[in-house]
Each structure stands twice: as structure tokens, then as C-alpha cells.
A and B are shown apart, each in its own frame.
Chain A
Amino acid sequence: MTLNGWLQILVFIGIVVAVAKPVGIFMTHIFNGERTFMHFVLRPVERLIYRLTGVDEKREMRWTEYAAAMLLFSVVSLLLLYILQRVQGHLPLNPQHLPGVDSAGSATSGFVGSAFNTAASFTTNTNWQSYVPETTMSYLTQMAGLAYHNFASAATGIVLAIAFIRGIARRETDTIGNFWVDFVRCNLYVLLPICVLGALLLVSQGVIQNFRPYDTAKLLEPQTIQVDKKDANGNVLTNPDGTNQQEAQTVTDQTIAQGPVASQEFIKELGTNGGGFFNANSAHPFENPTPFTNLIEMLLIFTIGAGLTYTLGRMTGSQKHGWAVLAAMVVVFFAGVVTLYWYEGHGNPMLSKLGADQSVTALQPGGNMEGKEVRFGIANSSLFATVTTDASCGAVSSMHDSFTPLGGLVPLANIALGEIIFGGAGSGLYGILIFCVLSVFIAGLMVGRTPEYLGKKIESYDVKMAMLYVLIFPLVILVFAAISVMAPSFGTSQLNNAGPHGLSEILYAFVSGAGNNGSAFAGISANTYWFNTTIGITMLMGRFLMIVPMLAVAGNLARKKMVPPSLGTFPVTTPLFTVLLVSVILIVGALTFFPALSLGPIVEHLLMYAGKTF
């Protein structure tokens, strides 16, 4: 760990807190339908979209219609993405002539394979990737399918958060806004303009943006490697002792994958999507070439989550509550990044024993460098991993699977806490608001008064729905993970690592799916029927089954009268509230996942120091 590393972390979080207010004010204007400097250009486009799609922008919706519109849109756009993947072989912008996803002959051919998983993944803002992008997706699918959903799913999350805020802010009404209007405004004013400028900024740093076929470079020094020897039919030949016969092969070329990356990269981070244009995601030099792009990408992941806390304060008329929520986020963020940086910085004791020098010197960052890029080193890799899992982003600039056990525990635990620390675009805010409801409920129990939240009485219906939200999450994770762990043929056989690390790989996959994160302990070979289907279902449940009770709370709160604060009201604007909120988040998370986490990363940590390998 270095002073410069801490400086980078502090600068990062400083900028996040500084942008919360301007971003929050801007979003308040947009979702209140007020004019901004952009309306001059974009308002005609907005009206055109309403005309083309038959939307009446004056019409308000009850929570049930709002939910129905959101679900209908999600189903339709999911189907379109599914179809686009399957037929991409017949469509333009496919210079590599890649066939349709899951076409006959591929390992996951059929209706419920990789294409279903990917469609569910990108619609739910998860961006779990069981496919290898470079060899699977055409440029058209990446742009009009995957990057499109980076906008659509992020906008859906954001407008749901706005609907929840309206539920708190409004009184004695049964409507919480119009889904279509919110959705269009979010895309048009909040996401799109900054993406155009930002994508160009990324290109100026070296993120690529083209439609070239993949280039072939002549290696400066051709390499000779040993490969399995095959007969004329492509079968591997074996020696009498059963090992594969080897033969020398000279590699003279390097394939360089290309594509329209920057336009996807920017919305991928801003919308907390995280699906990489390339397999290596934000570790790939074409996605994240410099430390500056790395800083931009990390900032983008937190921007909307931070801004929404200010919007919350603004729209509910309690700015201090917005800051109290932001403070809770900052506290848990720091706990994560300090732990992760500490353990990655100290490295792996077994590597030191083998003679690798992990110490920090002026010439090297030291620490556990397996799966990390030199340009980012330990500090930036630790920071990125914390940020991407606090939020439901899932982009990675280093491979979480190769982290030290307790370093890897942090991303896993961050997602397991529900990704409400800044959180996914929108989903982070409505997630933490559910925890706010629970916190005032618990405080109410302690002082024996009916709990109130920003002037609304919290009653049994609200608490039941909030608990439903909290319980669905571990339910889907633990059931599928338990089945996978007990199934050698289709579960544990797909692991890249044995022992407790294998358990972590499976657990991470389902936690990441249900949490709509999308990052992975990527050693797991998840492109199988079992994992594609179960993780696909996990993602859909983790998104939509949690949204419905959340919107039910919003609709119910909107109907209520405002009660003026009294002496018995637990204030939600104080540091005490921040402490209570953090405690509730940690207690709920720990009670749910501690047993599983102790069998994975915690046991592995002890075994690593005992020098045990698998």
C-alpha cells in the first residue's frame, strides 16, 4: 500500500461527493418536467418520440400500471435482444461473419442457451456474460442489442427510483408518474448527451471506435508453442501412457479484435451495466487504456447513484436526509476499499515463498498482481473492484477470481449486501430506501412509537413488502447455489478452482446474478445449459420480483397523509440515522450470508496462510 494509492482513492471519492449535488439537481429538473438548457435541442425529439409511440405525456399512472408498463417494456425488449442474437448471422455490421448465437453445432445450441441468458442478463441491468464477446457477438448485436440495453435497463432503474421518491414526496394521491415519459426523458436528457461527449473523451485516450474487421499483426518475435497433436479427423492423439501427444507449432500472427467500443464503454459504466465489449472487460487496453480512463469509468459508475441521493433530498424536501443516506454509502464504501486494498497490497504469502518479490518499491507497486494490469497496479484495481460491486455495475479492471481470499470477499460481500452503496443506476437508491424504511421501523420498535419516514406513517403493509424485497434476494441465490454445489456432473465440474475457492466461484455466480451485478469469479465455465438457465432465472427474479414489492410500497406511501413530525419521530437527517442505517444493512447482510462466506473465502484465507493448495 502506498501514500499515492490512498491519495487516488481519496481524490476519487471526493469527486463523487462533489458531483452529487449538480447531478441531483439536474435529474430533479428533468423528472419534474422543468425546462433545462438542453430542451432547446432535445424537446422536439422528445415530442416526436411521444407521437411515434402514442404516449400522452400528461397522463399519470398508479403504481400497478407503472409496474405493468415497465414489465411489458422489459419483456418486449428482452425478446428483441434474443431474436437479434439468434439472427445476427443474416444481418449487416458483422465483418467477422459470426453465426447466430446458439446456432446448430454450438455448445449451447437450442432455445434456452446462451442467447436467453444474455437477453435476461442485459434486460435486467446485470450484464453477466457467459459468452466470449470477441467470438460471439457481431458489431450490430453489440450496438443495437447490448449497448441499447445498457441505456434501457439503466433508464428503467433510474425511473423506478424516481417513482419511489415520488411515492414518498406526494400525499393523498394514487399516482406516481408516467413510466414512458420518465423513460424517454431519462434516456434523452440524462444519459444520451453526456454519452456522446464522454465516448469521444474515451476515444481521445485510446478507447477504440470503428467497424473494422479484426486486424492481423505480424508478431515481432514469432513464438513456438507445444500443442496437442491431432490426426486427420481432428482427434487428439495420445501416448501409450495416456498423455496427449504434443507437437510444436509456430505462431506468427496476432489477431487484434476491433469494434465500436467507446460508445458502449461509456454507457456501460454510467448505467452500471458492466458488460464488456471484450472478454477481459475494463482490463482490456482497448476498453480502458490509461489510468485517466480508469478514473472516468469508476466515477461514472457512482455518478447516478450519488446524484440520486441529492434528488431524493430535493424532491422530498429534506435535503439533510439525502446527505445522511449518502454518508451511509460513503462509510460502507470506505470499509470495503480499505479491506480490499489492504489484502491485495499485502499479496499472497505463498508467492513470496516461491521467490516472487511482492514488496512496494519505487519501481513496482508490489502486492498480488495475478489478474491485474501494471498501469492500474494494486490501488486502482482494488478501488475499481470495490466500486463496481458497491454499485451493480460488474465491469472489472482486474480479475476478482485471482484476488487473495479476503480481498475477493469484499466484492462478494458488497453484492450480497444488496448493492445499495451508491448501487445500480436507480436500483441502488430504491434498494437503500427499502433499508431506510426498515431502519425507521426498527427505531420505532425500540422507542415504542408508530414509525414515520419523511412524514409518512410506516405500517404493516409497507414493512411486509420491504421484508419481501429483502428475502427474495437470498432465497434465489442460496437455492440454486446449493444445488450446483451438490451436483458434480453439471455444477462443480465447471469450476476452474477446487477447494473453498470453488465454492466461492459458484456462490459469486448466483450472488452476482440475483444482485444484477454481472461480475464473476470468472474461472467458472458458465456457458452450459444448467448455468445459463439457472443464472438467467436468478437474474430475472433478482430484478423483477424485487421491483414489484418496492413499487407497492411506493404506491402505498403516495396514498398516505403527511403527518407533521412530533417529539416521538425518529429523525432521519442525523448522523445517528446514518449509523442505524449502516447497522441494519450490515446485520441483514451478515445474518443471511455469513455461513456461506465463512465456508468460502474465510476458510480459504486460513488455508492460504497454512500453505495449502488445491
Chain B
Amino acid sequence: MKNLLTAVLMTIVTTILLGLIYPLMVTGIAQVVFPDKANGQLIKRSDGTIIGSRIIGQPFGGPGYFHSRPSAAGAAGYDAGASSGSNLGPTSQKLMDRIKGDVERLQAENPGQPVPVDLVTSSGSGLDPHISPAAAEFQVPRVARERKLSEAEVRRVISAHTEGRQFGFLGEPRVNVLELNLDLDSVKPPSIPAPAR
């Protein structure tokens, strides 16, 4: 019986310490020391409108933009209130149909080139902010054509948004799609308004 009373008191006391004081303390310090990181690295326009987060991907469909990977998060993809992978298995007909359609569409715009696998597979979070350098390279001719830029100019913008392996060996090289497209817009907006997907 004594142990039951202790169990109740222990739950309450440790909940206050570990469930309230600890996270509040971490939040307090984090908000002072790393305010940008702690709040999701939001990108804002000068009027305060939020465009997105540096580390959360967005969907792109227009030919003048670099496209992100397919996404299973929300109806339009990249819904950062509904993160999700496709959870389709390796023998799923639905997965094969989706990839087949995407490969055909991509090969039509860039004939003869192999389609990098990350460009036709959805990420685990559905919010992947990155594509591989191969997937960026694959899209260079289309974006250069649409924006009337030389391919070399487009590649220069890509390289400014390409991250190598962290500390030289961790993870994989990657290109941040939202930052890349934002930068392209500031260099030269797409010549025609992006048509709807």
C-alpha cells in the first residue's frame, strides 16, 4: 500500500521535473541562443509573409522551376502538417504505376538521359527539402530553356545551393530545391508564368 502511494507521488513529482521543467528550460535557452533554428528557419518576405522553411521542401510543377521529389504528405504533397511516406512496398502495382508515369514525363522533357532514382521516388517524410546533384543536373536543360539562361549560369546557381557531406564524410551531397528556386527567381524570373500542374 505504501508503494501505491509512492507510485502516485513519484508519477506526479517526476512528471513536473521531466515533463514540464525540462522541456520549458530547454525551450527558454534555445529561444535565446538559437532563435532561428529553434523556430524552424522560416524564410520571410520583407512584408513578413512566410514563404517557407529552409529545411522543409515545397512542391514545384512549372517547367521554369527545379522540381522536388514526389511527396506523399497531404493532397498536394509537401504538407508539413501531415508528414508521411508513401509506405508502398517494393512489389506494389500502385508504386510501379506512379514511377512509370513520372519516368515517362521526365524522359519526354529530357530524352536519352537516365532518370535519377530520387526524382521519381517519394521521401520518408514527404518533406524532403533536397534532391541529389544528379537530379538537379537532369533538370538543367529545361530550366535554362524556360528562363532563357545559359546552362552554365543555372549550374552556377545550383552549386551555390549544393551541400557536400557534413564534415567531409557524413550523409550524401544534396541540393536545396526551395533555396535554389528562390535564388533563380531573384536572378531571373521564369519567362512565362508557371502553368498549373
Contact = CB atoms under 8 A, between A and B. Distances in A.
A123 to B, nearest CB: 11
Contacts of A227: 75
Contacts of B181: 220-221
Contacts of A4: 165, 169
A354 B20 contact: no
Given A225-B75, A254-B80, A374-B174, A286 B40 contact: yes
B3 interface: yes
A367 B121 CA distance: 11
A380 B124 CA distance: 13
Contacts of B182: 220
Contacts of A144: 15, 19-20
B2 to A, nearest CB: 7
Contacts of B3: 65, 68-69, 72
Interface residues of A, number: 140
Contact of B91 (A69, A294, A613): A613
Contacts of B9: 52-54
A470 B107 CA distance: 54
Given A285-B56, A364-B116, A147 B19 contact: yes
B154 interface: no
Nearest to B20: A144
B143 interface: no
Given A180-B6, A285-B125, A148 B18 contact: yes
Contacts of A219: 52, 58-59
A351 interface: yes
B106 to A, nearest CB: 9
Interface in B71-119: 73, 75-93, 95-96, 99-100, 103-104, 107, 114-118
A357 B123 contact: no
Contact of B83 (A77, A134, A184, A223): A134
Contact of B60 (A11, A152, A220, A295): A220
Interface in A190-236: 192, 195-196, 199-200, 203-212, 214-225, 227
A365 B165 CA distance: 12
B51 A220 contact: yes
Contacts of B89: 401-402, 408, 496-497, 501, 504, 521, 523, 604
Given A145-B19, A356-B117, A361-B134, A397 B69 contact: no
A262 B91 contact: no
A82 to B, nearest CB: 12
Interface stretch (A22-30, A276-284, A428-436): A276-284
Interface residues on B, range: 35 or more
A392 interface: no
A402 B104 CA distance: 22
B81 A614 contact: no
Interface string A510-540: 0000000000011100000000000000000
Contact of A8 (B6, B80, B137, B170): B170
Nearest to B28: A209
Contacts of A255: 79-82
Given A256-B81, A366-B117, A374-B174, A209 B90 contact: no
A367 B117 contact: yes
A143 B172 contact: no
B135 interface: yes
A196 B26 contact: yes
A402 B38 contact: no
Interface string A360-374: 010111111111111
Contact of A284 (B60, B86, B125): B125
Contacts of A258: 39-40
B30 interface: yes
B173 interface: yes
A203 B16 CA distance: 23
B46 interface: no
A376 B65 contact: no
Interface string A249-290: 111001111101011100000000000001110011110011
A374 B118 contact: yes
A321 B39 CA distance: 47
Given A279-B82, A375-B172, A69 B7 contact: yes
Contact of A374 (B84, B114, B130): B130
Interface string A97-110: 00000000000000
A216 B50 contact: yes
Contacts of A209: 26-27, 30-31, 38
B90 A368 contact: yes
Given A220-B178, A280-B125, A613-B92, 19 more contacts: A187-B14, A210-B40, A212-B40, A221-B58, A221-B65, A263-B22, A280-B84, A285-B128, A294-B171, A363-B137, A363-B173, A364-B116, A370-B95, A373-B124, A374-B128, A374-B131, A401-B85, A497-B92, A608-B90
20 contacts: A49-B10, A65-B3, A148-B14, A152-B14, A195-B22, A256-B53, A260-B27, A285-B56, A350-B91, A355-B104, A370-B85, A370-B122, A371-B87, A372-B121, A374-B130, A377-B171, A398-B124, A399-B86, A402-B85, A405-B91
Enumerate the 10 nearest inter-chain pairs by beta-carbon distance, A residue then B residue, closest first.
A291-B171, A255-B81, A283-B124, A144-B19, A148-B19, A224-B196, A523-B87, A377-B172, A357-B114, A280-B83
